[in-house]
């Protein structure tokens, strides 16, 4: 019988290689021997959206304990081995995904990949580290209970997505953390961490043939298919209303937003330009000029697009003195209405396109950033040549595109507003 052949394909206009291992596991690879390092990023669909009701924070909890002992190594021995070989290993969870990061010197590659394999496929879930990590998460949640920024964000999502996984907090609640058992962690690990939704990117001093073997060794033991609980599509609720959480602090934190565009929407790139003009540009946005520079209402104000897998938002935020919270919200609404009514100026459009094109390279100035971007491109199904096409897509955005997309995003002018503090006039 002939041995399976590793398939390697190259993007015609870039250095990205699509590597498929003999076991069928795919990764995107950028070989770079400038420094003797290897960086790996991976993502698996699921995240906090797979937390059972009443046990929010389960996926986040798992991300905190996977490196707390695995295989033959209990927690302290596991970390000692990471330190011995200068291995950087961590895991994370967000609303839609569970991911991980590995960074290692080439000479310790075998040890590093083996530690990743153990953490992913043979976690121990020993009692002492579980309780220690649980206590750390609970301490963080207690801190957030008195942090207006965290409270505003929590209130915004809870109001926008009631009775939906997106309305829960990623890191859980003080009521939910004690309910999470070792069996819950084992079950989540079994259901979610699987090869069927796995995306991998590797950057550094490793060739495709070597990587193919490591892919099977590290990720091959994971289950072939995930058993995910279906997550319903959701539009944000409460748009057109305000929600205030009273907190005795001198400044109010504000979150605002409404329905956005999904990542595969034909107007997505135009929406990126719209967002930059409104509040995504650090110093050039309308919100920055009107809220900070002209009126001194806040130190920072921002907006962003949030295209979750099962529902999309446009959203933003700021913090200001309690007595100026109502004025700040009014100015934000006025700028949104102006952008919808008048569209962008030629100067705004030109500056936005130039900045978005010129700054794109900053997403790829380290091996870790490159790997992270490649995983995101895979998750968004944009194609292996997206890095080569992206700036051309931005350059092609016209004033008409921006005006149309601004109407789609902000047309009725209604926002969901969540405020934490003691705002005057709300």
pLDDT in tens, 373-393: 999 999 999 999 999 999 999
Q: What pLDDT shows up at residue 284? A: 87
In a domain, residue 340? The reply is yes
Q: What pLDDT shows up at residue 14? A: 61
Q: Are residues 180 and 319 in the same domain?
A: no
In a domain, residue 30? The reply is yes
Q: Are residues 18 and 132 in the same domain?
A: yes
Distances (CA, A) of 274 to 202, 393, 398: 32, 14, 11
Among the listed residues 262, 410, 388, the one whose alpha carbon sits nearest the alpha carbon of residue 338: 410
Q: Are residues 209 and 298 in the same domain?
A: no
In a domain, residue 226? The reply is no
Write out the E strands in 153-285. 198-204, 242-246, 251-259
> Is 2 a residue whose pLDDT tops 80?
no
Q: Are residues 90 and 142 in the same domain?
A: yes
In a domain, residue 215? The reply is yes
Q: Are residues 49 and 188 in the same domain?
A: yes
Q: Are residues 303 and 182 in the same domain?
A: no
Which of 219, 250, 265 terminates a domain? The answer is 219
Distance (Å, whole) CA 157 – CA 172: 13
Which of 204, 219, 234 terminates a domain? The answer is 219
Q: Are residues 303 and 398 in the same domain?
A: yes
In a domain, residue 228? The reply is no
Average pLDDT over residues 116-143: 98
| Domain membership of residue 249 as a residue range | 242-421
Query: pLDDT tens digit string along 246-275?
Result: 999 999 999 999 999 999 999 999 999 999
In a domain, residue 91? The reply is yes
How many separate domains does the chain show?
Answer: 2
Residues 6+ apart with CB under 8 A from 344: 274, 277, 352, 399, 402, 403, 406
Query: pLDDT tens digit string along 35-51?
Result: 999 999 999 999 999 99
In a domain, residue 1? The reply is no
Q: Are residues 208 and 246 in the same domain?
A: no
* Bridge partners for 29 per DSSP: 17, 202
Distances (CA, A) of 34 to 13, 367, 404, 409: 20, 11, 45, 44
In a domain, residue 229? The reply is no
DSSP 123: B
> Beta strand 198-204 with 26-31: parallel, antiparallel or unpaired?
parallel
**Predicted structure pTM score:** 0.94
Query: pLDDT tens digit string along 266-320?
Result: 999 999 999 999 999 778 899 999 999 999 999 999 999 999 999 999 999 999 9
Confidence of residue 215 (pLDDT cuts 50, 70, 90): very high
Q: Are residues 250 and 214 in the same domain?
A: no
- Identify the residue whose tokens are 């047309």: 411
Q: Are residues 51 and 15 in the same domain?
A: yes
Q: Are residues 180 and 277 in the same domain?
A: no
Q: What pLDDT shows up at residue 426? A: 85
Q: Are residues 411 and 362 in the same domain?
A: yes
Average pLDDT, the chain: 95
CATH number at residue 54: 3.30.830.10
């Amino acid at each position: 019988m002939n041995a399976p052949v590793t398939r390697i394909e190259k993007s015609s206009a870039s250095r990205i290689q699509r590597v498929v291992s003999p076991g069928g596991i795919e990764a995107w690879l950028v070989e770079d021997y400038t420094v003797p390092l290897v960086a790996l990023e991976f993502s698996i669909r699921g995240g906090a959206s797979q937390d059972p009701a009443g046990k929010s924070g389960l996926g986040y909890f798992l991300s905190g304990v996977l490196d707390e002992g695995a295989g033959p190594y209990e927690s302290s021995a596991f970390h000692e081995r990471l330190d011995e070989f200068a291995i950087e290993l961590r895991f994370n969870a967000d609303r839609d995904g569970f991911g991980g990061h590995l960074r290692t010197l080439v000479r310790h590659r075998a040890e590093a990949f083996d530690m990743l394999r153990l953490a992913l496929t043979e976690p121990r879930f020993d009692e002492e580290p579980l309780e220690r990590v649980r206590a750390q998460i609970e301490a963080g949640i207690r801190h957030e209970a008195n942090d207006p920024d965290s409270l505003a964000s929590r209130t915004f999502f809870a109001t926008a997505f009631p009775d939906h996984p997106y309305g829960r907090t990623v890191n859980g609640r003080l009521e939910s953390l004690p309910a999470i058992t070792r069996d819950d962690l084992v079950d989540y690990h079994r259901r979610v961490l699987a090869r069927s939704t796995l995306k991998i990117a590797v950057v550094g001093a490793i060739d495709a043939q070597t990587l193919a073997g490591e892919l099977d060794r590290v990720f091959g033991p994971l289950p072939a298919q995930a058993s995910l609980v279906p997550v319903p599509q959701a539009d944000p609720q409460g748009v057109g209303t305000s929600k205030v959480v009273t907190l005795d602090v001198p400044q109010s934190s504000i979150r605002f937003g409404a329905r956005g565009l999904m990542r595969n929407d034909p107007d997505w790139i135009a929406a990126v330009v719209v967002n930059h003009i409104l509040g995504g540009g650090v110093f050039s946005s309308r919100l920055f000029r009107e809220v900070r520079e002209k009126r001194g209402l806040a130190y920072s104000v921002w907006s962003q697009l949030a295209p979750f897998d099962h529902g999309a938002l446009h959203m933003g935020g700021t913090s200001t003195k309690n007595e100026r919270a109502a004025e700040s919200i009014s100015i934000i609404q006025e700028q949104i209405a102006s952008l919808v009514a008048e569209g962008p100026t030629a100067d705004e459009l030109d500056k936005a396109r130039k900045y978005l094109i010129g700054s794109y390279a900053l997403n790829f100035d380290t091996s870790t950033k490159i790997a992270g971007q490649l995983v995101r491109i895979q998750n968004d199904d944009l194609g292996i040549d997206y890095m080569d096409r992206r700036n051309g897509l931005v350059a092609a955005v016209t004033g008409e595109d921006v005006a149309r997309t601004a109407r789609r995003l902000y047309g009725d002018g209604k926002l969901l507003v969540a405020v934490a503090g003691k705002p005057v006039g709300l």
